[in-house]
Structure 1
């Protein structure tokens, strides 16, 4: 699968952002990434403004990005937060 990630790692990044980030208007901000969820909490979007990673129920996910540079920049931030 292209752009494969471990959903449990992604949820750890989301947890770090919601725990250590700043919440403004329902959106958590931390180290260049933001996290927001839908009203029921089953869908979570992790984004840097250009690339987004949407986490769905049942460990499904989807990336959306305009080009490989945007994706690489997002992943650099993602791994930096995951490694903290």
Structure 2
């Protein structure tokens, strides 16, 4: 996958969700984005609007989505959360 995500912005968005979000079964939810991590913290997950982002060790990531416009909307939300 082409490296289209800035890992530092993704991690900043993750931290904002974890800081300001409401608890969920898996992690926290903030502004329509749920964020959580695995037990050791090596992988972080963010999902919303039918898109799931998994970012792992060495900032390797994978996006799961069905439609391109959903991905674009999700990435815009992450951009806003990273500010």
Q: How high is the TM-score relative to the length of structure 1? A: 0.88
Provide the residue aligned with 1:52 in structure 2: 52
Q: Unaligned regions of 5+ residues in structure 1, if any?
A: none
Aligned pair count?
Answer: 83
SS in 1 for 2:63: strand
- Equivalences for 1:67-82 in 2 at 5 Å? 67-82=67-82
Greater relative contact order: 1 or 2 (C-alpha under 8 angstroms, separation 6 or more)?
Answer: 2
Q: Matched residues in 1 for 2:59 and 2:37: separation?
A: 15
- Runs (4+) of structure 1 exceeding 3 A deviation are none
Could you say what the CA RMSD is over the residues aligned between the two structures, in angstroms?
1.5
Q: Unaligned regions of 5+ residues in structure 2, if any?
A: none
Q: How high is the TM-score relative to the length of structure 2? A: 0.89
